[in-house]
Structure 1
Amino acid sequence: MEKAGSEKGKDQASIIATVVDEHTAVQTPERTSSPDRKGDIEKAIIEDQKDGLPAPIEIPDGGWKAWLTVLGAWCILFATFGMTNAYGVYQDYYVRFFLPSYTPSSIGWIGSVQIFFQFSMGFFAGKLFDAGYFYQTVTAFSILYVLAYYMLSLAHQDAFYQVLLSQGILAGIALGFLFLPSIGVIAHHFRRRRSFAMGIVVSGSSCGGIVFPIMLNKLIESKGFAEATRSVAYVCTGMLVLAVALMRTRLPPPSKMKKDPNAPPPPPIPTPRELIRDVPYMITIAGAFFNIMGLFTPIFYMQLYAVAHGVDQNLAFYTITILNGASIIGRILPNLVGDIWGPFNAVLACTGTCIVLIFAMLAATNAGGIIAICVLYGLFSGAYISLIGPLFAGLANHLGEIGIRMGFGFVWLALAGLAGTPICGALLTSDLLWVRPLTFSGACMVVGFTFLFIARHLIAQKKNTWKV
């Protein structure tokens, strides 16, 4: 707009169209030839976008293809993160029955390795997504994911390496290559309501987190570990087939744009060095890093915590289901707040509440208190997880770098996920000293909150608005 304001002798509509195309790397010749749309284009450029991105090409913010894509991405999150949210059932079963020769800290490596790969693979998944290999990536790693759980069903009791290879490594790698494309493709269809649409998608993990814990607890008790794991693998297979059939991309990748001689050159994708020099972005990653270190402790250990505190076993088996049920609301409604007030403000509110709930968990020693923590923690932890995507996407300068920024950020979150659960397991010990891991988790999230608050302040100053 500065360019358009300074060169008064040029055709204003042409200049505006050029500025728009420089941000999107997509040819839009109709904008230069339709003076009736000049005001709309100017408004699109001048108007502050709620997610922090400059005005891109026209995004429909709806339509049947867009909502079918949301449904397909929801199915992926149901099958993948839904199983991750049900890991507490596996953790409890492994500690008490299936892996009796190993400590809670050693068993914690299974879940943490899975989290590490599901985040660290995001960098490579982001590059594949930006390069236009969406369908190939989703199809190939859907197959790998269901294969991992079929292999887990063949694991022998006390065979730690078999469980780690199938559930920790194979399933984790597949998760990493499925999660980011299923979130990133939403940006092809939604702009103003992107946080809301992503919230709906991520709510799939909560729905899976309701279904899978009930299935696993009931089927392990009645039919055994192997049959229970195969049963959830059947469900995952059906959901992933449906997802591949429903999801559709909309924008051409940069590699195809370059082949069009009439299209302007695509905007450059930032290198890792350039990303590291982006101070607000790196402070945001630091905050998210420490939050992930502490966030998953109540989720992974809630069922074991309830059993250890004498809660009736039938009720204890439903604690993870209750937590994930509450997170459905947390993954949708706070995203509406994020669209209105900004993702940073929403994330800070959710982080602060999670800190209070983690420390309050120390006082929850009966069924009523534990259920209350499950409901509230599910609500606000679910909101935090669903807002990570919009938070990183909002720091992108154009649509073409959303994948790389999300992927680079997830690499760092992977390290936090790798370390968090084993550290908490080591602090817990076989004597189940709950005050130690919960204090550690709460302290990590206090540090994360501080970093995010600083990043929010810097970005608010840069944009000259508090709605960030």
Structure 2
Amino acid sequence: MHIDLKGPAMGSSDATFGDDKADAHLHELVGSPSTPSDASETEKSATSIAPAPPAPAPDADGGPRAWLQVVGSFLVFSNLWGFTFAFGSFQTYYELTYIPQQDASTISWIGTVSTFLLIVGGILSGPFFDRGHFKTMLFAGAAIETFAVFMLSLCSVYYQLFLTQGLLMGLGNGLLYVPGLALVGRSFRTRRSIAMAITTCGAPFGGVIYTLIFEQLISRMSFGWTVRVMGFVMLAFYLIAFPLLLFRANNVGNLSSGTKRKLIDLGAFRDVFFCWYTFTNFFIFLGYMVPFIFMASYGQTALDMTRSKALNVIMIAQASSILGRLVAGQTAAKVGVMVPWVACAVCSGVFCIAWVGVRSVGSFIAYAALYGCFSGALIPLPPSVFPVICPDPKVLGARLGMAQGIGSVASLIGSPIAGALTRINSQGSAGGVNYMPLQLFSGVTMVFGGINLIGLWMMLIKKRGVKKWI
């Protein structure tokens, strides 16, 4: 099994949808053992990990045991991506109350480093899952993330927040990202898309839960006890998820097939389709997380909303992204991936540019709901078309991991760049706010990425001879 099944940053992660051709290729990643490959020129350029014994047969297609694993993975995603999506509430509180001496750009590095390590750690942890270390990774990742949350409750200065919420939490999450998806993928064939969709909807669900807890408790308790409550909720989610994932499951052992595991395929950089796909995704995700991180701050400083109402807007955006993911998946299954992918990327950017004209609470809520709905689809769609970008199954996993790794760099630097473009005076009053550069940065980068998608689409039709509706 190739090591890299996942979607992009903050993300990133996520469900796989698309036509039968794409699903068939992705089945090779998670639904069946990979086959030994020739000593091709591509393999010679790849970095490999030692082979392992043959894999056991995967679970039956679906069934109660498989659906329980979907529920368990949903809860795991609620923790590792939910806390990431909830960082906007922390950003606002840190910026205006907890560590106001730090600027918005500096604070945003906490969230982006955590997201970056989540995705990059997922790439590197794939081989360990292949060799049957799922239980170890599950317990270790859950323990590290939960420990990081409780340590966060004791932090009061920037470097402590960065080490716990940024570095430690990101490292723990990196152990959990790929295994949950791969485990679910191996249990389904005909219903894999919907199983993956349900699993990854745990991300915005967790974002709503943790944002709601923060919004309800931060004005009634200290920061420390608010975070501890979140830690206890996280611990409860994991304690429920463990038996659902592991009890009488026969697909958590050594899943490798004896083939070498490629981490890097240098030949990808000579492939114009790979480069175009990666370049386009980089710009889309350069602006993707910016609104989620700065929405609440904008509501409080520019629209004079209370902290509670501003955080409610984030929850609206997160909840609407669940709808966006499910609708995009169903649309992609009927008309192909490229139509909803292009539409969602361009519309998300346009909404960010339109954010410049938001002057009332009502229009702000409408913007948040629309952006959340359309941008939510940008997580599951890109991996679905990747088998068309890279039709060679021997290097598909390695190249997908490389593309997502490069995209994670965009998630790392996008919000700090946008934060540096905001200028808030020391009092945080509306008069000192200039969010227009941030809004334009997010919108223009996403529109640029969406327009480049059209070029990629046309080139695939012309050069690869694929059908019009990919």
TM, length-normalised to structure 2: 0.81
Aligned pair in 2 of structure 1 residues 48, 115: CA closer, same or farther (>3 Å)?
Answer: closer
Supply the AA of the counterpart residue of 2:21.
Answer: Q
1:50–1:342 contact (8 Å) kept in structure 2: no
For the residues of structure 1 that align with 2:134 and 2:388, how far apart are their CA atoms? 21
CA contact (8 A) 1:87 1:111 kept: yes
- Aligned-residue offset at 1:233: 1.0
Name the counterpart of 1:287. 280
The 2-side partners of 1:422 and 1:301 are apart by 11
Matched with 1:165 is 163
**306-315 or 293-302, larger mean C-alpha shift:** 306-315
Q: Matched residues in 1 for 2:338 and 2:134: separation?
A: 28
Aligned pairs (5 A) from 1:411-450: 411-430=405-424, 431-450=432-451
Cα pair distance change 1:463/1:225, threshold 3 Å: farther
CA distance in 2, matches of 1:301, 1:150: 25
Name the stretch that deviates more: 51-60 or 126-135. Answer: 51-60
Does the 8 Å contact 1:78/1:206 carry over to 2? yes
2:333 is matched with which residue?
339
- Separation (CA, whole Å) in 2 of partners of 1:356 and 1:207: 25
Name whichever structure is richer in helix by fraction: 1
1:30-86: CA deviations, max 9, x gaps? xxxxxxxxxxxxxxxxx9524361875778552222212211111111112111111
1:232-311 aligned at under 5 Å gives the runs 232-247=230-245, 250=251, 255=256, 257-258=257-258, 266=259, 269=262, 271-311=264-304
Deviation at 1:368, TM superposition (A): 0.7
1:62-77 aligned at under 5 Å gives the runs 62-77=62-77
Q: Provide the residue aligned with 1:207 in structure 2.
A: 205
Q: Which amino acid aligns with 1:62?
A: G
Shift of 1:353: 1.3
Report which stretch shifted further, 394-403 or 243-252: 394-403
Once the two structures are superposed, residues 392-426 of structure 1 have per-residue CA deviations (whole angstroms, 9 ceiling, x without a partner) of 46656587866544432221122111111110010
**Could you say if the C-alpha distance between residues 197 and 54 of structure 1 is closer, same or farther in structure 2, counting changes exceeding 3 Å?**
closer
Sort the Cα spacing of 1:186 and 1:276 in 2 relative to 1 into closer, same or farther, 3 A: farther
The one-letter code of the counterpart of 2:102 is Y
Which residue in 1 is equivalent to 2:55? none
1:79-110 deviation line (CA, Å, top 9, x unaligned): 12111111111001001111121111111111
Distance across 1 between alignment mates of 2:69 and 2:393: 18
Q: What does the per-residue CA deviation read over 1:277-296, in whole Å, with 9 as the maximum and x for residues that have no partner?
A: 34323322221111111011
- Which residue pairs with 1:454 in the alignment? 455
The separation in 2 between residues aligned to 1:443 and 1:332, in whole angstroms, is: 26
Among candidates 314, 317, 337, match of residue 311 of structure 2: 317
Separation in 1, partners of 2:467, 2:231: 47
When structure 1 is superposed on structure 2, of 235-244 and 308-317 the one drifting more is: 308-317
* Structure 1: distance between partners of 2:133 and 2:234: 22
Residue by residue over 1:224-261, the C-alpha shift from the partner in whole angstroms, topping out at 9 and shown as x without a partner, is 11001011111111212333322357497564x33xxx
- What secondary structure sits across from 2:100 in the alignment? coil
Cα deviations across residues 123-165 of structure 1 (Å, max 9, x unaligned)? 2022323343333222211111111111100102xx1000000
- 1:323 Cα deviation after fit: 0.9
Cα distance change, pair 288–243 in 1 and its aligned pair in 2 (3 A)? farther
- Which residue identity does 1:53 align to in structure 2? H
- Calculate the TM-score normalised by the size of structure 1: 0.81
Q: 1:110 to 1:271 in 2, by over 3 A?
A: closer
1:112/1:419 contact within 8 Å kept? yes
Structure ID, larger Rg: 1
In 2: Cα distance, 1:254 partner to 1:398 partner: 21
Q: Which amino acid aligns with 1:356?
A: V
> What is the CA–CA distance in structure 2 between the aligned matches of 1:332 and 1:297, rounded to whole Å?
22
Residues 422, 465 of structure 1: alpha-carbon distance in 2 compared, 3 angstrom cutoff: same
Letter in 1 for 2:320: A
1:359 aligns with 2:353: yes
Aligned counterpart, 2:139: 139
Deviations 1:180-200 (A, max 9, x none): 222233321234443332221
Q: Following the alignment from structure 1 to structure 2, what is the Cα–Cα distance between the partners of residues 67 and 399?
A: 28
| C-alpha deviation, 1:465, in angstroms | 1.1
Q: What amino acid is the match of 1:429?
A: R
C-alpha contact (below 8 Å) 1:195/1:336 kept by paired residues: no
1:178 correspondence with 2:150: no
Q: How does 1:218-229 map to 2 (within 5 A)?
A: 218-229=216-227
- d(CA) in 1 for partners of 2:185, 2:390: 12
Change (3 A) 1:341 1:240: farther
- Where structure 2 has 5 or more consecutive residues not aligned to the other structure, the ranges are 3-18, 33-57, 425-431
For the residue of structure 1 that corresponds to 2:220, the secondary structure is helix
Out of 23, 36, 47, the position equivalent to 1:51 is: 23
> Structure 2 vs 1, CA of residues 433 and 54 (structure 1 numbering), >3 Å: closer, same or farther?
closer
> How many angstroms apart in 1 are the aligned matches of 2:254 and 2:397?
11
- State the shift of 1:451 in Å: 3.4
Tell me the number of residue pairs that the alignment of Structure 1 and Structure 2 aligns. 414
Quote how far apart the aligned CAs of 1:114 are: 1.3
Q: Which deviates further from its counterpart, 397-406 or 139-148?
A: 397-406
Q: CA deviation at 1:216?
A: 0.5
For 2:260 and 2:190, the matched residues in 1 are separated by: 22
Aligned-partner SS, 1:190? coil
Greater alpha carbon shift after TM alignment, 235-244 vs 85-94: 235-244
Question: Aligned with 2:23: secondary structure?
Answer: coil
User: What fraction of aligned residue pairs are identical, expressed as a percent?
Assistant: 29
Contact kept, 8 Å, 2:353 with 2:444, in 1: the verdict is: no
Bigger Cα displacement from structure 2, 50-59 vs 206-215: 50-59
Structure 1 residues 197, 451: CA separation in 2 closer, same or farther (over 3 Å shift)?
A: farther
Offset at residue 340 of structure 1 (A) = 2.6
CA contact (8 A) 1:207 1:325 kept: yes
The 3 A distance-change label for structure 1 pair 225 and 48 is closer
Q: Could you tell me how far apart the structure 2 residues matched to 1:341 and 1:107 are?
A: 41
Structure 1, unaligned runs of 5 or more: 1-22, 25-46, 259-265
User: Match for 1:309: what amino acid?
Assistant: A
Distance, in Å, in 2 between the alignment partners of 1:309 and 1:180 is 39
- Aligned partners of 1:252 and 1:150: how far apart in 2? 31
Q: 1:269 to 1:106 in 2, by over 3 A?
A: closer
Map of 1:375 onto structure 2: 369
SS of the counterpart of 2:286? helix
